[in-house]
A and B are shown apart, each in its own frame.
Chain A
């Protein structure tokens, strides 16, 4: 017998929980859903575009009747639950039907607050909450002319805008002197008001209602200052209250909302609650992003996995009035100890304000130019240290050393046929269509359906903006810390911590003991786990080659036609005639299809068949060459210039220093690839300032630069420090590498890592703190002991992993 799960409230949070639950554990429960509204679950957020006439009801349905049938979820539409017998574990409907449950989920949402002024119950006085309200408003707009919206918050303004677009004359009455005062400061509020006035809305600010006039139906409003205006319809949008009526009645502990713990459980352990009706750690939420997070956590517990915890959410707001760009998040007033950065250009209609406390963004208000909203929001959620980029912060992400493709990130202004994802050739329209037609909510969804942002990832920000723009609400926003992948709720940092604490030795052990949802993990988590394992316990961990991508598994780069390329190491870019002879001989012997000098100062042999690899490697090994690791998330190359050995400007011996660096660091596995360069003088012919570590020699020593990147997003290095001797260069390089190896997340290159943790942090850890630097250096050298064994010689001469290179049989 399956257990019975009953959901009260067929809305966004409750149904999201069911969807998440079905993903985790499709067969655990018999599920019944009671919904007071006579529809399937729809996207309440999009009621505003429906009111504006931009969308119709069918387009905003999330789960239609067929969905419930297909997923064997029983939907009781138009049925309100009026009682719960918690002893007998039974719910009761308004028409006296009963239903038993083993687990109950309450997701009754909110009720709009109606100000109890005289006349509030007259016909024509409505709220803005559900389809029925929107139907009433659209009907009214066909017969009448004058609408009054009480409340100048998000909802009120969206209602007013919609009614205006339906042809009504609309006045917005607001108690305060600023619109959306919970999200906007005075300046932004004023700018918003004037652009709405230009569109034809009227405002009565700092005005409170005394009475609603009329007989049966409303005809006007009287205000406390004596003023009267006529009104055929009054929309009250002054706030919402968690809908806790039912829960309270049956004795479930409530304060402002139904009180739940971090597992979304109420005080009755059989009863869970999610959504706007819930109060968690003293907070209630009225936006979907946090509710969807709650849904995920709740599903995890309903599925009896039992490890996820909800820790509260940071939210951000966008007004869904087409043509008005407004973004607000967090604390936008600040306290005595906070700094305010602001920029105001009234002629262009731009206003930006960022609140910073202890170098961390606490809040942001953007008006007119909201392109960077998601960026600020992400940094705010990450609590990123912004001291190093403070000067450029207001000008936006495009101004932070990012001269790459990021410059074109005006999602809203992009033409439909503009290419968003260069790797997969996905245009903006492909994405917007998929969002609408396939009802996508998240970045993951868009990736899966359109492939956009699923390859190199450089367009991720843009895709997120398109999502936010298309959906209005910021519910695409990624939660503060993302899980490693769909197999777990644990974040990269959680997993790392667990690996540090427990002596795991194999990827599968981690997957089993940390309760992965999938049996064997997936191609996203397994390589990450394997890396964390071998970098944390280099001595004990077993390197699991089945958890490595093909290139690392066979130590060569797979090519589009299934052949492989082989790039031997040329230490510091130096090469001898003997080595060149050997390479040439090998190229002839194996009839290499193509040879090429790579961007990393060495030679690529292309088009080799897999079966040939061990022989090629044996020959290279005999000639004294080792793997170049051009295939690895690991140390790649050290690029050098000719330096003081030859160059008339050279200040130090950059070639030989490059060789020393490469001999020390080769074969190291890192979270993402890692490249070095040494230039002999500030002319910087080795392009050291776009490398993960770049050494620029100067007369008095060596400048160390870190966090450069020449690839998808060009980023110039940050200056770390200057040192005096070659030994210092080696020690600092090893320490930096080790810090990166121990702390960055898998597939995070040094550039984004530094932007996340801040240069100051890195300086504190390894420049200021000499002891720690030496310890890092030591740990690095120790781990190198286990890996500096040439994988090519192993396979070419010592017959390791031969099964990779031979067919099992020929038939």
Chain B
């Protein structure tokens, strides 16, 4: 069973942008794509801990602000040829509200 936590309204996250959720286990970046899909990743690049929430979102990827690695929003996997993975969390949208769950995917 997922433990859904409401974090805010969809329109509080800019399209092709991200917001940060602070949690006891560190920051989580919540991204919104151009199709209003929402994804959540640990806000730490597998490369050198760049804050993914500060990157440029394109398609279902985010480019890290520090050295431009691309990370797949759905899985947290780094896009080849670089390698690595950022933890990803389930999300859902209900009535324009965004929920995340802290059980890692």
Contacts and interface: CB of A to CB of B under 8 A. Distances in A.
A455 B27 CA distance: 28
A558 B48 contact: no
Interface string A486-520: 00000000000000000000001000000000111
Contacts of A521: 58
A550 interface: yes
A640 B15 CA distance: 43
Contacts of A597: none
Contacts of A807: 19-22, 27
Contacts of A520: 16, 33-34, 57-59
A195 to B, nearest CB: 40
A381 interface: no
Contact of B15 (A449, A546, A549): A546
A454 B49 CA distance: 19
Contacts of A347: none
A558 B66 contact: yes
A809 to B, nearest CB: 4
Contacts of A561: 49
Contact of B5 (A518, A522, A811): A811
Contact of B14 (A560, A803, A811): A803
Contact of A808 (B30, B34, B59, B81): B30
A526 B58 contact: yes
A808 B8 contact: yes
A1 interface: no
B104 interface: no
B51 interface: yes
Given A519-B34, A562-B51, A546 B19 contact: no
Contacts of B51: 558, 562
Interface in B5-37: 5, 7-8, 12-17, 19-23, 27, 30, 33-34
A508 B20 CA distance: 24
B45 to A, nearest CB: 10
Interface residues of B, number: 35
Q: Which of B12, B16, B23, B49 has the most CB of A within 10 A?
A: B16
Given A522-B58, A523-B56, A808 B16 contact: no
Given A558-B54, A808-B13, A808-B30, A523 B19 contact: no
Contacts of B90: none
A554 B17 CA distance: 13
Contacts of B19: 803, 807-808
A811 B30 CA distance: 13
Interface in A536-577: 545-547, 549-550, 553-554, 558, 560-562
Contacts of A449: 81
Given A520-B16, A807-B19, A808-B8, A560 B66 contact: yes
B22 A523 contact: no
Q: Which of A454, A519, A522, A546 has the most CB of B within 10 A?
A: A546
A280 B58 CA distance: 37
A413 interface: no
Contacts of A117: none
A448 B81 CA distance: 6
Contacts of B13: 803, 808
Contacts of B50: 562
Contact of B21 (A522, A545, A811): A811
A66 interface: no
A520 B17 CA distance: 12
B76 interface: no
Interface in B50-65: 50-51, 54-59, 63, 65
A612 to B, nearest CB: 15
Contact of B22 (A454, A527, A546, A810): A810
B40 to A, nearest CB: 11
A454 B13 CA distance: 31
B86 to A, nearest CB: 15
Contacts of B59: 518-520, 522
B49 A562 contact: yes
Interface string A446-464: 0011000011000000000
Nearest to A455: B67
Contacts of B103: none
A808 B49 contact: no
Contacts of A550: 54-55, 65
A371 to B, nearest CB: 29
A808 B55 CA distance: 16
B21 A546 contact: no
A508 B35 CA distance: 13
B21 to A, nearest CB: 5
A611 to B, nearest CB: 10
B12 A803 contact: yes
A530 B27 CA distance: 30
Contacts of B12: 803, 808
A561 B68 CA distance: 15
A546 B16 contact: yes
B38 to A, nearest CB: 11
A560 B15 contact: no
Contact of A546 (B27, B30, B57, B102): B57
Interface of A: 448-449, 454-455, 508, 518-523, 526-527, 545-547, 549-550, 553-554, 558, 560-562, 803, 807-811
Given A526-B56, A547-B56, 12 more contacts: A519-B59, A520-B34, A523-B55, A526-B58, A545-B14, A546-B14, A550-B55, A554-B54, A803-B13, A803-B19, A808-B7, A811-B102
Interface of B: 5, 7-8, 12-17, 19-23, 27, 30, 33-34, 48-51, 54-59, 63, 65-68, 81, 102
12 contacts: A520-B16, A520-B59, A522-B58, A523-B55, A526-B56, A547-B16, A558-B66, A803-B12, A807-B21, A809-B8, A810-B23, A811-B23
